[in-house]
Amino acid sequence: MSYGIGLSMARSVAGQPIEFNHDALVMGLKDALAEKEPKIDEATLREAFASVRESQMQKQEEASAEALQVGEDYLAENAKKEGVETTESGLQYEVLSSGEGATPAATDTVKVHYHGTLIDGTVFDSSVERDSPATFPVNRVISGWTEALQLMQEGDKWRLTVPADLAYGAQSPSPKIPANSVLIFEVELLEVQKES
């Protein structure tokens, strides 16, 4: 059990974007468990934590600004491709295949298959890979999807290029999607379930 607690503690800090001095980490753990006087006073520890937080925030801001610029450059190039349409909001789409079914309203529920990637091709989510279509209300997804779905018909398959401000913006919903990411989805509208 004791070893397991140690593993658990190490795993909880290992995922942090901080470089650790393992010897100092173990020393702090041993001193606390042995109820020894800390080797570093509380004020110095608070300053160290504040300094690391400030450094992390600065790195995140720089990465976020860089992602925004890379995304804008990508959107500008993508807009030039044959078959890519850009809506007033900045959403880009390309019709891969056309259907002839119903078009959903914002209040309808849809069943879709999708494959989501970052602009570098990294897959962050895919109902196709799970082999399990997703069902959700049109107005309960990112605004780029809400807009696109209301332009599509059942049977349509489109490639959406969603600007960051129509996706998650500066908020990262998960480690798989960095802040200010342009997202690319292949979306197939399988079924529209009209609101009754």
Query: Quick one: pLDDT at residue 171?
Result: 86
Let me know: does 177 contact 124? Beta carbons within 8 Å.
Answer: yes
Which one of 74, 93, 168, 184 is the catalytic residue?
A: 168
Whether residue 125 lies in the annotated active site: yes
Q: What is the pLDDT of residue 196?
A: 62
Candidates 31, 108, 125, 165; catalytic one: 125
**pLDDT at 64 (0 to 100):** 83
Cα separation, 154 vs 94, whole angstroms: 16
The answer to whether 120 is a known catalytic residue is no
Could you give the CA distance from residue 120 to residue 60 in angstroms, rounded to a whole number? Answer: 19
Q: Write down the catalytic residue from 74, 93, 114, 184.
A: 114
Task: Give the predicted TM-score (pTM) of the model.
Answer: 0.75
80, two tokens: 């030039």
Count other Cβ atoms within 10 Å, centred on residue 104.
Answer: 26
Per-residue pLDDT of the chain (196 residues; tens, 9 = 90+): 999 998 898 888 877 777 888 899 889 989 999 999 999 999 999 999 999 889 888 888 888 888 899 999 999 999 999 999 999 999 999 999 999 999 999 999 999 999 999 999 999 999 999 999 999 999 999 999 999 999 999 999 999 999 999 999 988 888 889 889 999 999 999 999 987 6
Is 185 a known active-site residue?
Answer: yes
Is residue 49 annotated as part of the catalytic site, yes or no? no
Identify whether 119 is a catalytic site residue.
no
Note if 114 is an active site residue.
Answer: yes
Choice among 108, 119, 124, 165 that is catalytic: 124
